[in-house]
């Protein structure tokens, strides 16, 4: 059982021949909406990985919120604590993509910024009854810290994906069993840009000095490194004909959380996570690319 306290967004994506400069209006191409938000994406990843997932968060009382709630429910996720809060609109990300794949993104957090410590307390049973509490940094930091403390006190393992990166209080780090971060986040948090196994180890070691027990740095097409009390475990990436990296990180984090939550040893959970990350690069978009447990099994059996 996995409990996610996190963000839910609707991604509003438009193709554009060029990214506009300030003051410019550009006539764009096709427009599409995609469910997103790191919290929701990782909850879906965990559900497809075989986890029994509950979600704690907020959407607005609007059409995007209704669609997003229905989408999570269709994945089998318990949304009893995904509140509909009329004061704020549902979070949206405004995304423009040019033909080379470069993008600009503005996130309007809306209801995600209105998640409160009381929301967490109202969902305390879901959190303390879980095997893993999975967190990101797209809801207020005090909410993340409160949820982590509640879980840690109950002996529930906390997995924190430090995205988007921001300075973390020591007492939050002390509650986390696993920190998962990518290269950019590692650089922001440690000053070390991991470009290979050695520098990833250095970055992870630095985070462990700050109080994190186990640290996983993901290195895109190079794989991932786990550093913990039992030493360092390198996990090379699985070679695939990758198309679009969007969703790889979310697949990795959701799958890893289900792995450790279901009692796998960390290196085996890491291997499944890397397989899920690789599979996610074969399909465009975030949620459409998140693989099922069966797909990961089949891939690993190849
Ligand atoms: P994020 O999306 O957060 O930047 P990464 O790009 O580091 O995360 O991807 C997470 C994991 O997914 C990696 O550690 C790796 O195991 C897997 N992965 C990502 N890109 C590729 C790729 N091109 N080929 C194979 N595996 C990949």
**Residue pLDDT, tens place only, 191-250:** 889 888 888 888 888 888 888 899 999 999 999 999 998 889 999 999 999 888 889 999
For residue range 77-98, what is the model confidence (pLDDT) as tens digits?
A: 999 999 999 999 999 999 999 9
Write the CATH number for 143: 3.40.1190.20
Report how far ligand 1's centroid is from the alpha carbon of 272 (Å). Answer: 12
Whether 102 is covered by a domain: the verdict is: no
Whether 99 maps to a domain, the answer reads no
Has 250 been annotated as catalytic? yes
Question: Has residue 209 been placed in a domain?
Answer: yes
Mean pLDDT score, 97-123 = 94
Range of the domain at 134: 2-7+37-89+112-301
DSSP three-state, residue 208: helix
Which residue matches tokens 């995304």? 95
| Best residue among 136, 244, 245, 250 to mutate for probing ligand 1, ranked by most atoms within 8 Å of CB | 245
218 vs 253: CA distance, rounded Å? 10
Find the catalytic residue in 11, 244, 250, 297. 250
Q: Is residue 29 part of a domain?
A: no
Ligand 1 atom 2, closest CA: 249
Ligand 1 proximal residues by C-beta, below 6 Å: 182, 218-221, 223-224, 237-238, 240, 242, 245, 248-249, 252, 274, 277-278, 281
Pair of tokens at residue 13: 């994506």
What is the Cα–Cα distance from 17 to 226, expressed in whole angstroms? Answer: 40
Q: How far is the CA of 87 from the centre of ligand 1 (A)?
A: 37
Whose C-alpha lies nearest to ligand 1, atom 16? 274
ipTM above 0.90, yes or no: yes
Give 50's contacts (C-beta < 8 A, 6+ positions apart): 258, 262, 292, 293
Residue 45 included in any domain: yes
Mean pLDDT computed over 162-186: 93
The SS3 assignment for 113 reads: helix
pLDDT tens string 39-62: 999 999 999 999 999 999 999 999
Instruction: Give the Å distance between the CA of 236 and the centre of ligand 1.
Output: 10
Could you tell me if 47 and 53 are in contact, meaning their C-beta atoms sit under 8 angstroms apart? yes
Let me know the angle formed at the C-alpha of 158 by 155 and 161, rounded to the nearest 5 degrees. Answer: 175
pLDDT confidence tier of residue 161, bands split at 50, 70 and 90: very high
Domain count, the chain: 1
pLDDT score, position 286: 87
* Alpha helices in 86-156, H assignment, sequence order: 117-122, 124-128, 141-153
Q: For residue 106, is it within any domain?
A: no
- 105 in a structural domain: no
- Among 212, 211, 280, 201, which residue's Cα sits nearest to residue 235? 201
Residue 110 CB contacts under 8 Å (≥ 6 apart), including other chains: 60, 88, 89, 90, 91, 92
Q: Which atom of ligand 1 is nearest to the CA of 273?
A: 16
* 14 within domain boundaries: no
Pocket test for ligand 1, best of 248, 253, 259, 302 (most atoms within 8 A of CB): 248
How far apart are alpha carbons 118 and 83 in whole angstroms?
A: 12
């Amino acid at each position: 059982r996995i409990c996610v306290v996190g963000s839910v967004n609707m991604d509003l994506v438009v193709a554009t021949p060029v990214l506009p400069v300030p003051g410019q209006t550009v006539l764009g191409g096709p427009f599409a909406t995609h469910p997103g938000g790191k919290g929701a994406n990782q909850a879906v990843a965990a559900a497809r990985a075989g986890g029994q997932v509950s979600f704690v968060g907020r959407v607005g009382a609007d059409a995007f919120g209704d669609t997003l709630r229905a989408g999570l429910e269709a994945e089998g996720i318990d949304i009893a604590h995904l509140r509909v809060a009329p004061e704020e609109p549902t979070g949206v990300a405004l995304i423009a993509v040019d033909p080379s794949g470069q993008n600009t993104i503005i996130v309007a957090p809306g209801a995600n910024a209105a998640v409160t410590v009381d929301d967490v307390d109202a969902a305390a049973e879901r959190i303390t009854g879980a095997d893993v509490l999975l967190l990101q940094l797209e809801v207020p930091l005090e909410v993340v810290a409160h949820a982590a403390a509640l879980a840690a006190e109950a002996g529930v393992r906390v997995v924190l994906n430090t995205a988007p990166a921001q300075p973390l209080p020591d007492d939050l780090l002390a509650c986390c069993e696993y920190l998962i971060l990518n290269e950019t986040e590692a650089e922001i948090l440690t000053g070390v840009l991991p470009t290979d196994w050695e520098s990833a180890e250095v970055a992870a070691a630095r985070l462990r000095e700050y109080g994190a027990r186990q640290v996983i740095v993901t290195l895109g097409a190079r794989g991932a490194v786990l550093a913990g009390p039992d030493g360092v475990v390198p996990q090379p990436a699985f070679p695939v004909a990758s198309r679009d990296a969007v969703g790889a990180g979310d697949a990795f984090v959701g799958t890893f959380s289900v792995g450790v939550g279901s009692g796998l040893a960390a290196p085996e959970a890491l291997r499944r996570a890397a397989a899920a990350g690789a599979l996610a690069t074969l399909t465009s978009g975030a949620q459409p690319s998140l693989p099922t447990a069966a797909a990961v099994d089949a891939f690993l059996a190849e």
